[in-house]
Amino acid sequence: MEPWLYGYLQGGAWANRGLLEGLQKQRRWWLGPLEVELDRLSRCCGPEPNMEYRVAADAWEKRVTTLAAGLSDPAALPPLIVMYDDGGLSIRDGNHRYEAMRRRGWRTGWVVIWYNSAEEWEASRRRRVDVAQLTDSRC
């Protein structure tokens, strides 16, 4: 998955060279693409005062509104790139897309998740297996 992700972040309409450079600083463990409920994700970018990466409200609104107007098929969008962060899922690439999807009333979206350690990745994998087994036993 890394070659595709790094190529995606390097150029084109959705390029994010800053994130690419940060990801390349250490080994990552990846999961996905997965379809997840949007309300399980949190933004790190936006006009709100608590955002890690603040952007001007007018620029944010213009970009989100333009994206939302063009959304029709979830499969046509690249997945959001999400960081696993102490049990949470922080959107690190695709914050504008996420907000546009949410405003269009979409309940789910495609993501790829990165983990910063093998231990985080393994713990997450075990939880997914446990949940799948629980779900299967109730069917």
Output the pLDDT for position 130.
46
Output the pLDDT for position 134.
34
Please give the mean pLDDT across all residues of the chain.
87
**Phi–psi pair at 11, nearest 5 degrees:** -155, 175
CATH of domain 31-138: 3.90.1530
Strand stretches in the chain, DSSP E: 29-37, 41-43, 45-46, 53-54, 80-85, 88-93, 108-115
Q: What length is written for the chain?
A: 139
pLDDT in tens, 57-91: 999 999 999 999 999 988 888 999 999 988 889 99
CA distances from 23 to 47, 81, 127, 131 (A): 24, 11, 25, 29
| pTM for the whole structure | 0.85
Output the pLDDT for position 138.
33
